[in-house]
């Protein structure tokens, strides 16, 4: 493999993108309204990436994202993620988030506490908002405070966060919200042929 490469793939929510290097996955792009928007955002993040068929070592990451977006368990732990361009603090946050169990959430303050640091909630929030690996590093499980799901993750948005948390059972007993109603009205994802 030479340089950075990417591929688009189908999920139950629409076309996603994934980019990788020799060191592993460098980014995931969750679906926008149209595939062209998803591709544009992925290429904005990785302008030097060239499209190609994913190699076998990237297939488990694609399967993990696809499974998560269907609401199924997935094995994201141990997937090769290339975090070399992430600051050291962000890497620590991402490693911690990978250990948050499916169906649970953790507050920004709790993340700071688990890292053994105080007064870094803003830094935690910034690391989460810049997570290049949504779903593989489950930033949707990080919430501003216990029970609060506002504050959109950068590469997925608040509707995707709410849907992922609902699929994982983390929002049980919360009642129907506007986002639940919007999700039930959303048109089915478009196929690659219609994009």
Per-residue pLDDT of the chain (195 residues; tens, 9 = 90+): 458 999 999 998 889 999 999 999 999 999 988 999 999 999 999 999 999 999 999 999 999 999 988 888 877 667 899 999 999 999 999 999 999 988 888 999 999 999 998 889 999 999 998 999 999 999 988 988 776 666 545 555 556 677 777 777 776 555 444 444 444 445 555 544 444
The whole-model pTM stands at 0.80
The phi, psi pair for 36, rounded to 5°, reads: -60, -35
Please give the Cα distance from 140 to 153 (Å, whole number): 7
Catalytic residues: 139
> What is the signed CA dihedral for 129, 131, 134, 137, rounded to 10 degrees?
-120
């Amino acid at each position: 493999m030479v340089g950075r490469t990417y591929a688009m793939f189908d999920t139950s929510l629409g076309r996603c993108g994934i980019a990788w290097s020799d060191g592993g996955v460098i980014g995931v792009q969750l679906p926008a309204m149209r595939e062209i928007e998803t591709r544009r955002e992925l290429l904005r993040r990785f302008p030097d990436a060239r499209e190609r068929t994913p190699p076998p070592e990237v297939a488990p990451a694609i399967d993990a994202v696809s499974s998560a977006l269907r609401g199924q368990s997935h094995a994201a732990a141990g997937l090769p993620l290339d975090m070399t361009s992430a600051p050291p603090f962000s890497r620590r946050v991402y490693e911690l988030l990978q250990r948050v169990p499916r169906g649970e959430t953790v507050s920004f303050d709790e993340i700071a506490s688990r890292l053994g640091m105080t007064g870094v909630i803003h830094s935690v929030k910034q690391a989460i908002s810049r997570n290049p690996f949504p779903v593989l590093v489950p930033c949707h499980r990080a919430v501003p405070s216990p029970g609060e799901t506002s504050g959109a993750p950068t590469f997925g948005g608040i509707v995707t966060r709410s849907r992922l948390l609902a699929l994982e059972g983390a929002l049980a007993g919360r009642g129907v919200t506007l986002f639940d109603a919007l999700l039930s009205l959303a048109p089915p994802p478009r196929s690659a042929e219609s994009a």
